[in-house]
């Protein structure tokens, strides 16, 4: 059996990416947070997301408990798996899992930065920090809902680039989530308007469309005061850059799209 490992810090989107990666590389089996997933369905183990505190969650994810370890190990031995990928927060963690499950040495390590862009990683961290979103890469019907704080999104189906169904993921909030920060969308809107109004060429600003929960995008209408010799395009790019840098600095949001609509120009003579 070939053993792979996907490594990345907590909240960087490993569980979100793992089904797609495994489909693209013909890896049928996944070990993620204490469960064994084969062809998109859980066949053994118990998710660390069900634990009541983070210490127990780490122990569950690393197969510290003997009954849990033996259950998963026995199912792996009885299943004709040719390739398996272990998901973990560090090389040390995935090596520990491989050792405890008697899987042998890991053949290939993949860092999360190799399969996710910086923007995607920052977006995943933002969702984890502000909304407590965790992903279990199995269908909603296999999730023990009574052991969770709540289900945030159930049964999100995943498809390959060829529109082939490859599995489902369930977005949840575990019981060990101690708290989340809720920022109302009006805060983002007001802050963007504040940043724009501070710029010398901006006369009026209006937020006409936004999405700060999934796609991280905003559309801003701008009225400008300019002189005849000013480059309008460069001026709008500066506004775009100022919005992006401010949101990244204060909220750790790296925007996916910032659209600027120029609605009026007043020429200063």
User: Mind listing the pLDDT tens digit for each residue in 74-128?
Assistant: 999 999 899 999 999 999 999 999 999 999 999 999 999 998 888 788 777 777 7
Rg over alpha carbons for the chain, rounded to the nearest Å, is 23
Q: Which pLDDT score is estimated for 269?
A: 65
Q: Return the structure tokens found at 261.
A: 């609509």
CATH topology for 185-268 is: GMP Synthetase; Chain A, domain 3 (3.30.300)
- Are 116 and 17 spatial neighbours (Cβ–Cβ below 8 Å)? yes
Q: Which pLDDT score is estimated for 11?
A: 85
CA 232/CA 201 separation, integer angstroms: 10
Stated pTM of the model: 0.69
Q: Each residue's pLDDT tens digit in the chain (269 positions)?
A: 999 999 999 888 898 889 989 999 999 999 999 999 999 899 999 999 999 888 899 999 999 999 999 999 999 999 989 999 999 999 999 999 999 999 999 999 999 999 888 878 877 777 777 777 888 888 888 888 888 888 887 878 887 777 788 788 888 888 877 666 677 888 888 999 999 999 888 999 999 888 876 667 899 999 999 888 889 999 999 999 999 988 888 877 778 889 999 999 988 76
3-class DSSP assignment, residue 211: strand
CA 158/CA 160 separation, integer angstroms: 7
CA 115/CA 7 separation, integer angstroms: 11
Domain limits of the chain? Answer: 2-173, 185-268
- For 252, phi then psi, to 5°, come to 60, 35
CA 69/CA 60 separation, integer angstroms: 9
C-alpha of 1 from chain center = 29
| Other CB atoms within 10 Å distance of the CB of residue 224 | 20
Q: Which pLDDT score is estimated for 240?
A: 93
């Amino acid at each position: 059996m070939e053993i792979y490992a996907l490594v990345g810090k907590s909240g960087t989107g490993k569980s979100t990416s793992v089904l797609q990666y495994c489909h693209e590389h013909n890896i049928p089996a996944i070990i993620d947070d204490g469960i064994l997933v084969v062809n998109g369905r859980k066949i053994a183990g118990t998710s660390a997301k069900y634990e009541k505190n983070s210490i127990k969650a780490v122990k569950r994810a690393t197969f510290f408990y003997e009954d849990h370890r033996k259950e998963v190990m026995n199912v792996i031995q009885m299943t004709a798996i040719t390739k398996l990928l272990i998901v973990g927060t560090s090389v040390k963690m995935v090596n520990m899992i491989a050792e405890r499950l008697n899987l042998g040495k890991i053949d290939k390590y993949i860092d999360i930065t190799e399969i996710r862009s910086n923007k995607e990683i920052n977006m995943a961290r933002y969702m984890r920090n502000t909304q407590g979103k965790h992903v279990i890469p199995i269908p909603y019907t296999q999730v023990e809902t009574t052991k969770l704080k709540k289900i945030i999104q159930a049964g999100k189906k995943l498809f390959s680039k060829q529109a082939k169904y490859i599995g489902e993921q369930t977005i949840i909030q575990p019981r060990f989530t101690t708290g989340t920060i809720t920022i109302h969308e009006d805060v983002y809107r007001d802050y963007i308007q504040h940043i724009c109004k501070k710029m010398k060429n901006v006369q009026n600003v209006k937020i006409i469309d936004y999405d700060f929960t999934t796609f991280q995008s905003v559309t801003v209408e701008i009225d400008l005061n300019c002189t005849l010799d000013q480059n309008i395009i460069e001026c709008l790019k500066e506004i775009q850059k100022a919005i992006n840098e401010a949101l990244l600095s204060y909220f750790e949001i790296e925007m996916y799209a910032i659209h600027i609509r120029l609605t009026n120009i007043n020429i200063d003579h």
